[in-house]
Structure 1
Amino acid sequence: MSNGSMAAGDVDVDLGRLFAGIRRKWLRLLLAALVITGLVFALLSMATPKYKAETRLLIETRESVFTRPQVGTGGDQNNIDGEGVASQVELLTSTELLAQVVDKLKLADREEFSGGDGSLATRVMVMTGLKSDPGNAPQEERVLRAFRERLTVYRVENSRVIVIEFSSQDPRLAAEVANAVADAYVAMQGEAKLQSNNSATQWLEPEIEDLRKRVKDAESRVAEYRAQSDLLLGQNNTVLATQQLAEMSSELSRMRANRADAEAKASAVRSALSSGAPVDSQPEVLASPVIQRLRERQAELQAEIADLSTTLLGNHPRIRALRSQLGDIDGQIRAEAGRVLGALDAEAETARRRETELTAEMNRLKVVSAKAEEEQVELRALEREAAAQRELLESYLTRYREAVSRSDRNYLPVDVRIFSRAITPGEPYFPKVVPITVAAFIASLLVMAVITLLQELFSGRAMRPSDERDHVEPVPAVPMEPAEPAEIDDKPARNSLLSGRYATVDERHESERPLVPKIGEIDVEEASDKLISGGASRALFISPEGDEAAAASVLVAREVADSGLRVLLLDLTSSGAASLPMLESIAFTGITNLLASEAQFADVIHSDHFSEAHVIPVGTADPVRAMRAASRLPIILESLGAAYDVVIVECGPADADAIRQLIAADTEVMVAVLDPDHGEIAVETLEELRANGIESPTLVTPSGVTLPPAPPGRDAA
């Protein structure tokens, strides 16, 4: 009830009188709790104990690198994934496998599985017609139903381990059944592999025989066509006509070079003879043995004339005779040069005739080679067909040999391993007598205490008139004297940040604490009005309490959106606390996907389910990879500012350095606090922002405000 003034007939609850009833009836409460606990203990003692055993399987490929087939290994690997392991769990609970275990262990002969009268609850439901009588079902169905009720098969999360649990009244039977199910599963897997291997062998045998005939026919067609088309092969496995054409082309090039060389040499000798120049300077002339001997004789005569000129005059008969001989030698040299010229002309003519013959032969070979190339295209097609059939035959033969060898050697490893077999449990898992008895005693005490309190309350014994209360005189607020700036201590300022708005008087401990007026706080509506009327296009919200304080930015975004402005909320918190109440899930593409270049703007902008605001959530990309492109955030905010009237950024518990690059000319920085007891954190954040050059940050205190539900007429889905 209220602590204010009430009418004279009002009553209040007297807690002392209320709990005095418990003190008066403590013995009765204890006896009732002991009776209930005794009944529970008796029921637990009469209950049939149940034991549970478990066997663990590991789904893995048992092939080694030495025995793994070279063909088709991918199929085995593809089965060992999440869906493959889940399929094996279903196979372990199949009727065929369970029926094998039932027959092997003769479970139908046990009363636990054959049915009996069933439990008390089952008999009551049968009598009332809510359930059909299990005894009317066939025995096999009853046994399998009882078997399934006691069997639990599940996959260990994020692993390839399958656990088989079985509970029974007989501890040894519990272990035997769990191991028998695992053994039957392994045997079934082996039989499945053997059957698959035999089926493959039976299918490959006729296919191989058919392929052998097709390979033989294809190779025969290749040989026949080659013989009919006269496609003889030369060196380097090329057609003979093509090889001859290449050789003829090389010979023609060489002959043309020889002809041109002979013509050039003849032209040089002829030019020297016609101009009267010395012909012995031409290499072809000097190469003649006759010219070489004449030059030697010429040198001897010149030496002799020079020797005689030292003792005789120039008109001496001896000298004149030598000079006459020297002139005859010059004539002989020119005559020999003429013969060399004739030989060069003959050589050039011979090369010219040979060139003509080679050209004619080459033209003929071109025609033959072109025809051979056309025929070779068809030959290559036949050879490709034969090669394809041969490769297919070889692959089938390889698979067939592997399948036959595995069947003969009985080597077909299954893709499962039992790495933990069940052992006989020593203690039952139900009932846990001691824990349940203790819990029953505590619960019965609590229930009896609540019943006693309700009896005292409704009987009126715990009520008293309101005028019997001790009145507490209100503590008047102490006015604060204005202080000089130098006299204001930092810590008191922090402690009084929220005291003016949320200050209360503790009757026992804080009766002398003065009320302090608030400083600079605004609520959500005032913050929304500031963004609507202030013209700011960007607002940065900092939540020093943690991501939970992101509620302020969500409320402000919805208020601004309700005013008709286009507003977008960008969630930069690590947990997605700002986008979660707007989208009811965080599994949406968002800012991390945009920074990681995995999505476009249109993919990451979503509509708020409860207002006209838009939101960009945290996203699903790798945060580490996304933060490598954090330098793009200012550009992204500029682009969003061009499309929206107001962009609200929820930064979480950020500091000034973290938000510095997000601040533009028309940015409002707001610090949101939900709990008034965290006023010191808010003051520290404000001081840190001002100390780092961020002027006029605003404190938003939406304390006691919760996120509103979806407005009428709006679909929250």
Structure 2
Amino acid sequence: MNSGQIAAGDVDVDLARLFAGFRRKWPRILLAALVITGIVFAVAFMATPQYRAETRLLIETRESIYTRPQGTVDGDRPILDGEGVTSQVQLISSTEILSQVAGALQLGERAEFSGGGGSLVDRLMVLVGLKSTPPEAPVDERVLTAFREHLTVYRVENSRVIVIEFSSEDSALAAQVANAVADAYVAVQSDAKLLSNTSATDWLEPEIEDLRERVKEAEARVAEYRAKSDLLLGQNNTVLATQQLSELSSELSRMRANRSAAEVQAEALRAALRDGAAIENQPEVMASPLIQRLRERQLELQTQIADLSTTLLGNHPRIRALQSQLTDISGQIRAEAGKVLSGLESEADTARRREADLTSELNQLKVASGRAEEEQVELRALEREATAQRELLESYLTRYREAASRSDRNYLPADVRIFSRAITPSEPYFPKIVPITAAAFVASLLIMAIITLLQELFSGRAMRPAVDTMQPVASPAAPEPKPAFDDAAESRLPSSASRTVHGLAAAAPSYEPDAADTAWEPQFGEIGVEQASEKLVSGGATRALFISPEGDEAAAASVLVARDVADSGLRVVLLDLTASGAASLPMLESVAYTGITNLLASQAQFAEIIHADLFSDCHIIPVGTADPARAMRAADRLPIIMESLTAAYDVVVVECGPADAGAIGRLLAADTEVLVSMIDPREGEIAADTAEQLREAGIHAPILVTPAGKAYPPGRDAA
């Protein structure tokens, strides 16, 4: 960067004189600190000791499952959230509880609470004006005021524990008051529950008497209406008409089913007799005992005929006799089937007449049931009113008995428990003489040291005139030669990097422009590598695009600039877009690393292509190992990648190699510097062509970077 700077003012602070004055006055500083410490020690020593005791309460439900009122569950318990516990803290500090404790312990007779002379510290604070003189107030008011000053009640965070702290000159009194306040709070809670229980019983007693009368009236109205409307109840509390209707409907359905079954059976048997079909298989015929016996006899005769037919002829008298008997039995079966048919027809006719009678009765009951339903609506309304009154009375009676039994047995546990009572403290909490004295000594030393330094500054003894730091700036045309690395730095590099850099150094001889070399002067402003680095750092550029029209050998300038900018403390990344990886080799000593082509070809993640320079704090994104043709198909993603790199790094250096000006157009953005790297700017034709291409692409202010700003002797590392 440019070393010329403007002075911030006409004078500067002379630290040597400042601390010299501090050394001269250190006895006075020490003496003042000792005096202040002695005063603090005396005040702390004469201060009245204060003792502190604490009692801890736990807010919880004390009701057991055996004595809990009937019908209550865990959800019916009192609300014990943070707001509820905080409210109990305020209740403990109430005037009622404090007055009870003050009266029970006779605190008004103690000078500490009645407004006596007070401690020595209090009297000194009144004399100095830091504390007002106690006003002439009643004794009770003064006692309560002093009580509140000594009492601290707070809730332990994220719990239902309340801590009661009390401080006093008397250690025994501190414990007594803390315990007395806790006991008074528990008593107040118990009295509050007793009062609530008593109020409930007083209110429930007349309400119960009133409800009894209303229940009697409601039940009397129900009975009167039922008797007047003739709503007789049957089974299951159902109106008799409705119950009869249901039963008659069931009987009618059964009778219809019987009639239909008898008609179907009779028709089937009639058809069998008419058609001369076998009637033995009819279910009704088979059900007759006589037919069953005739059928058995028929089968016996058929069996005998079959047996005799094997030895006798068909006209044999015995066979003819058996066949005659068989014919008589078949006639008897058909005659009996006719009787069965007559019985079925008679049964169907009887069922038909019964069905007609039932239908008539059903129609009459429908009318009666409809009228009963209308009357039952009013009856149900009266019954609901009576039931509601009865249930309310029973509920009130249950609650009254429970409340009365609790009052009689005096069982009303408060929802609080004292689980840690205060004990008499043995050591005072104030004053802590040693810590107070040590803190006073350190604070007084610090204050006196600051006062002494301010005195030296304001007196002007520690000030001196400012030195002019303006230095002449060397002309870019004649920079001072400065080697990039010394011999020791070169010896630390690996041999492969040394050979590569020596090759670049041999192709980049030191150049001194003369009057004849003017081909490049109208197009570029020439600077060296160091000036290019300073321009990027001070100019605020976020991107630096390097074009190397001479080929890969000129890519060493981008490497040097990136390393210089990284050495200044900025975050720098170098993106190598050359075909051969000329910028990657000096920084990684190899080109076999994943890089930008792997990212474009979706073969690597973003974090996998960024590598660290082996010889600086700079980062490098090499060309990569993917197929360039496949990577170029995703070249549209390159501007997005550049935006991401710009957001992550302070400066993004891009080595484009011998690319033309039109090819780098997509990489241009705000705060972008375009630099042309040339080893030998005397090649006017290359410089002129490059300038023309940049001008056609809209880039009118490119910067020529040459080794002129830095001399690189043969054999020195240029990268």
For residue 219 of structure 1, give the secondary structure of its aligned residue in structure 2: helix
Partner of 1:38: 38
Partner of 1:601: none
Partner of 1:22: 22
Tell me how far 1:125 sits from its aligned partner.
9.2
Distance in 2, Cα, partners of 1:271 & 1:521: 122
Q: Is the 8 A contact 1:54 1:163 kept in 2?
A: yes
Tell me how far 1:416 sits from its aligned partner.
1.1
Distance in 2, Cα, partners of 1:181 & 1:142: 18
Q: Is the 8 A contact 2:7 2:468 kept in 1?
A: no
How far does the alpha carbon of each residue in 1:674-703 deviate from its partner, in whole angstroms, 9 at most, with x for none? xxxx999x9799879x99999442255689
Distance in 2, Cα, partners of 1:311 & 1:72: 101
Partner of 1:643: none
User: CA 1:687 to 1:56, structure 2 compared with 1: closer, same or farther past 3 Å?
Assistant: farther
Question: Structure 2: which amino acid aligns with 1:87?
Answer: S
Distance in 2, Cα, partners of 1:449 & 1:305: 151
Partner of 1:582: none
Tell me how far 1:191 sits from its aligned partner.
0.8
**Bigger Cα displacement from structure 2, 335-344 vs 414-423:** 335-344
Tell me how far 1:185 sits from its aligned partner.
0.8
Q: Is the 8 A contact 1:241 1:372 kept in 2?
A: yes
Partner of 1:439: 439
Question: Structure 1: which amino acid aligns with 2:497?
Answer: E
1:149 aligns to 2:149 (yes or no): yes
1:698 aligns to 2:646 (yes or no): yes
Partner of 2:249: 249
**Bigger Cα displacement from structure 2, 212-221 vs 408-417:** 212-221
User: CA 1:316 to 1:151, structure 2 compared with 1: closer, same or farther past 3 Å?
Assistant: closer
Partner of 1:427: 427
Distance in 1, Cα, partners of 2:450 & 2:613: 39
Q: Is the 8 A contact 2:542 2:650 kept in 1?
A: no
Distance in 2, Cα, partners of 1:328 & 1:341: 20
Larger RCO: 1 or 2 (CA < 8 Å, sep 6+): 2
User: CA 1:376 to 1:291, structure 2 compared with 1: closer, same or farther past 3 Å?
Assistant: same
* Aligned counterparts, 1:464-503, within 5 A: 464=464, 478=482, 480=484, 487=497
Partner of 1:713: none
- Gap regions ≥5 residues in structure 1: 490-513, 528-551, 553-662, 671-677, 704-717
User: CA 1:465 to 1:477, structure 2 compared with 1: closer, same or farther past 3 Å?
Assistant: farther
Tell me how far 1:100 sits from its aligned partner.
0.8
1:63 aligns to 2:32 (yes or no): no
Partner of 2:170: 170
Partner of 2:180: 180
User: CA 1:679 to 1:241, structure 2 compared with 1: closer, same or farther past 3 Å?
Assistant: farther
Q: Is the 8 A contact 1:522 1:701 kept in 2?
A: no
Tell me how far 1:57 sits from its aligned partner.
1.4
Tell me how far 1:151 sits from its aligned partner.
1.5
1:369 aligns to 2:369 (yes or no): yes
Distance in 1, Cα, partners of 2:285 & 2:303: 23
Partner of 2:386: 386
Q: Is the 8 A contact 1:52 1:171 kept in 2?
A: yes
* Aligned counterparts, 1:574-589, within 5 A: none
Question: Structure 1: which amino acid aligns with 2:107?
Answer: L
Partner of 1:230: 230
For residue 201 of structure 2, give the secondary structure of its aligned residue in structure 1: helix
What TM-score, normalized to structure 2? 0.63
Tell me how far 1:258 sits from its aligned partner.
1.9
Tell me how far 1:201 sits from its aligned partner.
1.3
Q: Is the 8 A contact 2:30 2:445 kept in 1?
A: yes
Q: Is the 8 A contact 1:115 1:135 kept in 2?
A: no
Question: Structure 1: which amino acid aligns with 2:21?
Answer: G
Partner of 1:88: 88
Q: Is the 8 A contact 1:285 1:291 kept in 2?
A: yes
Tell me how far 1:333 sits from its aligned partner.
4.0
User: CA 1:426 to 1:367, structure 2 compared with 1: closer, same or farther past 3 Å?
Assistant: same
User: CA 1:330 to 1:150, structure 2 compared with 1: closer, same or farther past 3 Å?
Assistant: closer
Tell me how far 1:194 sits from its aligned partner.
0.9
Distance in 2, Cα, partners of 1:407 & 1:488: 103
Distance in 2, Cα, partners of 1:363 & 1:487: 118
Partner of 1:354: 354
Question: Structure 2: which amino acid aligns with 1:487?
Answer: A
Tell me how far 1:73 sits from its aligned partner.
5.8
User: CA 1:30 to 1:121, structure 2 compared with 1: closer, same or farther past 3 Å?
Assistant: closer
For residue 77 of structure 2, give the secondary structure of its aligned residue in structure 1: helix
Distance in 1, Cα, partners of 2:641 & 2:87: 63
1:407 aligns to 2:407 (yes or no): yes
Distance in 1, Cα, partners of 2:159 & 2:183: 21
* Aligned counterparts, 1:458-469, within 5 A: 458-464=458-464
User: CA 1:231 to 1:15, structure 2 compared with 1: closer, same or farther past 3 Å?
Assistant: same
Question: Structure 1: which amino acid aligns with 2:448?
Answer: M
Tell me how far 1:518 sits from its aligned partner.
7.8
Distance in 1, Cα, partners of 2:307 & 2:176: 134
Larger gyration radius, structure 1 or structure 2: 2
Partner of 1:105: 105
Distance in 2, Cα, partners of 1:304 & 1:465: 160
How far does the alpha carbon of each residue in 1:170-201 deviate from its partner, in whole angstroms, 9 at most, with x for none? 22222221111111111111111111111111
Q: Is the 8 A contact 1:222 1:382 kept in 2?
A: yes
Partner of 1:452: 452
**Identity score, percent:** 66
Question: Structure 1: which amino acid aligns with 2:36?
Answer: I
Q: Is the 8 A contact 1:523 1:702 kept in 2?
A: no
User: CA 1:328 to 1:486, structure 2 compared with 1: closer, same or farther past 3 Å?
Assistant: same
User: CA 1:480 to 1:379, structure 2 compared with 1: closer, same or farther past 3 Å?
Assistant: farther
Distance in 2, Cα, partners of 1:460 & 1:321: 169
Distance in 2, Cα, partners of 1:309 & 1:442: 148
**Bigger Cα displacement from structure 2, 260-269 vs 324-333:** 324-333
How far does the alpha carbon of each residue in 1:9-29 deviate from its partner, in whole angstroms, 9 at most, with x for none? 965443233222333333333
- Gap regions ≥5 residues in structure 2: 500-529, 544-570, 572-599, 627-636, 652-719
Distance in 2, Cα, partners of 1:392 & 1:49: 64
What TM-score, normalized to structure 1? 0.63
